[in-house]
Amino acid sequence: MVSESVLAISTISLIVELVAFSLLLFGYHQKRMRKYHKHGVAMTIAVALHLVVILTWMIYSLIAFFSSASLDLGNILQVTALTHVALGIIAASVGVWLVGTWHLQTDVQKCFGRKRIMLATITAWSGAFVLGCILYAVLVMS
């Protein structure tokens, strides 16, 4: 059984991640509408929200999860958690780099060369998000 405080914090984190993911989708839509500044702002806010959740909850949760049991790659839950973490680290790291370089540029034309990196990042973030939702569902059901 999961404690009420863990469930509450996990739920708040999921809600913040839903907002961040919605901002990613909104930002992608803004890019398609050629509103590049709004795209960049939405992505910056999404990355910032994601970093807040990582630093305030996800790191603690990861440590608690893996310190409670030994690593077993035959355990689908642990493999799901590891994949979630790997995709999340990639997405967050590259997202910070993309947002940081965008803020340091005066010409958005340089961003167009990073289109494939951006697409790979949103794909990794989407995968991590889906796996995080699965982990949350398992937490709620336990």
Helices (H), 33-114: 36-53, 59-67, 76-103
**What pTM value is reported for the model?**
0.85
Whether residue 134 has pLDDT greater than 90:
yes
pLDDT tens digits along 62-73: 888 778 777 777
pLDDT tens digits along 33-78: 999 889 999 999 999 999 999 999 889 888 887 787 777 778 898 8
Backbone dihedral region for residue 131 (phi beyond 0: left; psi -120 to 50: alpha; all else: beta): alpha
